[in-house]
A and B are shown apart, each in its own frame.
Chain A
Amino acid sequence: MLVTRDPLFGVVPPSLVLLGAVLVAGGLFAAGMWRLYRLMRLGKSTSTTSIAGRPVKRAKGMLFDVLLQRRLLAEPYGGVMHALIFWGFAVVTVMTAHTFLAGLFPGFDLPAISRNPILLASVETFMALVLLALSMALLRRLVLRPQRLTYNADAYTVLALIAVLMATAFLTTSTSIAYDVQPWDRWAYLSQALAPAWVGLEPGHLLLLHRVSWWTHVLTVLAFLAYLPRSKHLHVVTAPLNVWLRNLGPRGRLPYRDVEAALEAGQPLGAGEVTELTWKDLLDSLTCTECGRCEAACPASSTGKPLSPKRLMTDLRQYLVRHGPALLRDAETWSRGDTDRTLGGRRGEAFAARVMGFALTVWRMLRPYRPLRKGPAPNGNTGTASPPVRPALVGETIAEEVLWDCTTCRACVDACPVLIDHVPKIVDMRRHLVMEQTRFGPEAQRLFDNLEASGNPWRFPRATRGDWAAGLGIPILGEVSVDDVDLVYWVGCAGAYDERYQKVTRAFARLLQHAGVRFAILGPRETCTGDAARRAGHEYLFQTLARQNVDVLNACGVKKIVATCAHCFNTLQDEYPELGGQYEVIHHSELLAQLVREGRLRPAQDQQPGGRTFTYHDPCYIGRYHDLYEPPRDVLRALPGLKLREIPQHNRARATCCGAGGARAFMEETRGTRINHLRLEQAEGAQPDGIATSCPYCIMMLEDAARAKGRYDTLPVRDIAELLDEWVEAAESR
């Protein structure tokens, strides 16, 4: 590096100037990060994430989702673009670190880095690739303009900063080569190719150009650093953290709350304020890159509803950054003298806070606080003037209808490259509305009333829950001992009461009898699992229902359960263990696939001449929640004469929800267009003769859509059990 050889303007040693700049930028970065850290610590502790737990799995996540950029690459254009920038940075950073050390300590030089042929060549190559990626990013933002992106100055600022970095890096090296070529310079092959461009300059000017370029480069790096905590590009730091700290618990398990204890203690029953979310929820919001992949996948956003999972995250972040400081101050005033308080109460933290206090004050003077996203200026400043009025997080910042729109389909979570978990936040805020504020629509009220009164969503009498099985020779547990059966069939509310879905229930029971599986049902002693209550935010009602069921199941000594309903399956498998219910739970698609594989069910050739083409709709609660993509398809593939054709694009993990999850099945869909119509249209894209699926609510929603579109007769919706039953019956009657 030429620059470091001469003092700046012949007076100040450049290393001192650089040191000053590093300290300022480092201070700004540290102050910004410290502030964000403290804001994040406003959140409650979390039970689902532990930094220490399962390090191997976490390390694997780091490898795939950070280093190899697996989730980003799920979308080719944006993925390749970003991977090039990311890998480029990873490589270039080694050289940048060397540059800074050499600048700070004159005479410092590690030939293993500065003269390493492989490193030099890679740095040059990746810098070119980063420039390519930047032009891809510009093309995307200026020409392609996908809807999912957020178009703000922040994005362009960072693209510009990176462009300056790359350009000045080439300029610095090539001028250096033009001035004084070294043997190892041939590895910097691109700069060397550029160097002849400067031969016309006289040495003095060349040196000046080199110096200006070097300083621009170095100061831009520092500017980037100082800018990070004030930008979505904070993700450079938070994304790897968030990937490491990902929730490794079961996907289908919502966070448990001891409602009764909270009631006794007068504690909040849901999240109505950022302090009632967990710190991980807040870290999620600080990590969001505003890429909009979640929004593009979200059925609510896709049908024009107010909910956008991206907006949810950015609104939460904006609220945290804008109103968090006031909450921090409240907490501090309250905790003064009380060292036991968790927030800032720990001694080390309190000391660090004091040290950082000075830096913070300096920083505040330099740059009055500004929110991350554009918006109205914050009311007043941080001084002693009347405190800004804090709007409610739930209801004002995040509208109630936004929260009620969510089907908990998990498409957003699955699409998010930085592993943000939207669903528990939405449910926690619903809990606030339901249990704290008693604010919900008449349909939710009806659902709660009915579940309380009758243990099912439609208020059928409990006593008739087993009536569907009359005359089918299905034993009720109690009439037979649990030791005399292979498993218990969990029928579910739809299976027991819904006239349409009873056909599936009976078909499945017939198949079990046919295959010689010994099973029993609980009959009137079964109650709604509570899935809808829990996802609607009524945690207390969920726990009441779940405890009843766990008591019954445990009293009977049940060990193995099969469920036809995807929601029952998920709740039994993922959520009951926390309430003392440990069972082996399988979905009927798994069991049927197994019975077919073992030859215990033998489907015959399709009776319809020419055969039929079916497509398959993946229910969220067995698909994205449990990765059961193949078992139902295995069943369909085993039906001779039936052709399986996938729904274009939107199949398996990318399947769009039917619109029923998250208790939406029991509410009117008043905003935007209908999700079930969208899903039916997607399915029609496969040009099938029928749609197969494996969840009662999917059947109801898709049949409703077919009815509304006049396709009820031409596009039958069937459970895989109904189809298999039809094919097996055909074999029988031959």
Chain B
Amino acid sequence: MNVVVCIKQVPDPEIPPAQFKVDEVARAVVPPPSVAPVMNGYDAHALEAALRLKERHGGTVTALSLGPPSAREVLKRALAMGADRACHVDDPVLYDADSWLAAAALARAIYRIGGESGRSGQNGQYGYDLILCGRQASDTDAGQVGLGIAAFLSLPALSPVQQVEVIENGRLRVERLTEEGYQVIDVRLPALLAVSSEIGEPRYPPLRGIMAASRAQIPMWTAADLPPLGRKDDGDWPPLARKLRLQRLYQERREAACEHVQGESPADAGRALADRLRQVGVI
């Protein structure tokens, strides 16, 4: 089974929120300096799912990322974890992409990967059998791009997924999370699954993998390298253009004050505290 995993580079989610700054003019979130971006958590789970499928059923895993040059670090980590190859899509016209543009660029890239893999997938036509991505990215939390890719490539999509299992050639049994439990759904390949963390902890890359990955050559594609999806009626589908525009980004101001309520005895203090709380209208 040939799997393509879409991986996003995000600011380290472990950084305390207070450390971020907001640039209201540029409408951008500025992470603190000296903290390297990391692989989006759910995408790491998606990669783990892909690697487990490969270990059980063979095939290849291709990691794909859209982003500035630093995204290559994330791709190297994917290679270190066990991906067979990586593709990096980087073009200034794609920076600050909205969900539509990101999905469009990634769909085109996947289309190209399918054509290039040389080995056709089980379905013959596509060159890939499965596309995995995380259910959402920790910076935007939109959860749109995966579904967008599926739409552009006319694939069935399921999200959020907690388990994947091959039941027969060309069919997967998938557990899709719901509010109170999960659904069991069979899906015919090729398909796109947006994976949740329940699928299993991503592995730590073996040291030998890290060393090999640090020397790996990763191809870089610009917008011009991404072929249109070959629909006859529209030569440039899907268009690489933004559809959404952010209007305002600002940091909410929160104010906190601290006040000590005292009393002669604990009981007095309690009474004084109750008075004060009533005063300010909390109780």
Once the chains bind, are A438 and B206 in contact (CB under 8 Å)? yes
Which residues, 1 to 53 on B, are CB-close (under 8 Å) to A?
Answer: 12, 14-16, 19, 32-36, 38
Once the chains bind, are B204 and A448 in contact (CB under 8 Å)? yes
Complexed CA–CA distance, A448 and B203 (Å): 12
Q: Specify which of B201, B204, B211 is in contact with A438 (CB 8 Å cutoff).
A: B204
Q: Is the interface of B mostly helix, strand, loop or mixed?
A: loop
Q: 1/0 per position for B178-191, CB-CB distance to A under 8 A?
A: 00000000000000
Instruction: Tell me the minimal C-beta distance from B206 to chain A in angstroms.
Output: 4
A contact residues around B19 at 8 Å (CB): 461, 464
B208 located at the interface, meaning its Cβ lies under 8 Å from any Cβ of chain A in the complex:
yes
Q: 1/0 per position for B71-101, CB-CB distance to A under 8 A?
A: 0000000000000000000000000000000
Which residues, 320 to 352 on A, are CB-close (under 8 Å) to B?
Answer: none
B246 located at the interface, meaning its Cβ lies under 8 Å from any Cβ of chain A in the complex:
no
Once the chains bind, are B207 and A449 in contact (CB under 8 Å)? no
Q: 1/0 per position for B107-142, CB-CB distance to A under 8 A?
A: 000000000000000000000000000000000000
Q: 1/0 per position for A486-524, CB-CB distance to B under 8 A?
A: 000000000000000000000000000000000000001
Known: A453-B38, A459-B14, A461-B15. A440 touches B204 (CB 8 A): yes
A contact residues around B33 at 8 Å (CB): 463
Which chain A residue shows the least CB distance to B81? A438
**Total of A-B residue pairs, C-beta within 8 Å:** 49
Which chain A residue shows the least CB distance to B211? A263
B contact residues around A263 at 8 Å (CB): 207-208, 211
Instruction: Tell me the minimal C-beta distance from B2 to chain A in angstroms.
Output: 25
Once the chains bind, are A453 and B203 in contact (CB under 8 Å)? no
A540 located at the interface, meaning its Cβ lies under 8 Å from any Cβ of chain B in the complex:
yes
Number of chain B residues whose Cβ lies closer than 8 Å to a Cβ of chain A? 19
Which chain B residue shows the least CB distance to A440? B204
B contact residues around A445 at 8 Å (CB): 201, 204
Complexed CA–CA distance, A453 and B39 (Å): 11
Once the chains bind, are A259 and B207 in contact (CB under 8 Å)? yes
Most A CB within 10 A of own CB, among B35, B201, B205: B35
Complexed CA–CA distance, A269 and B207 (Å): 9
Q: Specify which of A260, A436, A450, A462 is in contact with B34 (CB 8 Å cutoff).
A: A462
Which chain B residue shows the least CB distance to A437? B206
A contact residues around B35 at 8 Å (CB): 453-454, 461-463
Which residues, 431 to 445 on A, are CB-close (under 8 Å) to B?
Answer: 434-436, 438, 440, 442, 445
B contact residues around A540 at 8 Å (CB): 207
A contact residues around B207 at 8 Å (CB): 259, 263, 269, 434-436, 438, 540
Q: 1/0 per position for A523-560, CB-CB distance to B under 8 A?
A: 01000000000000000100000000000000000000
B contact residues around A438 at 8 Å (CB): 203-207
Complexed CA–CA distance, A454 and B19 (Å): 14
Q: 1/0 per position for A260-277, CB-CB distance to B under 8 A?
A: 100100000100000000
Instruction: Tell me the minimal C-beta distance from A603 to chain B in angstroms.
Output: 31
Known: A259-B207, A438-B207. A463 touches B201 (CB 8 A): no
Known: A263-B211, A453-B12. A461 touches B203 (CB 8 A): no
A contact residues around B208 at 8 Å (CB): 263
> Could you pull out 14 A-B pairs where Cβ atoms are within 8 angstroms?
A435-B206, A435-B207, A438-B207, A440-B204, A442-B201, A449-B204, A450-B14, A453-B38, A454-B35, A460-B16, A461-B15, A462-B34, A463-B33, A463-B34
Q: Chain A interface (Cβ within 8 Å of chain B)?
A: 259-260, 263, 269, 434-436, 438, 440, 442, 445, 448-450, 453-454, 459-464, 524, 540
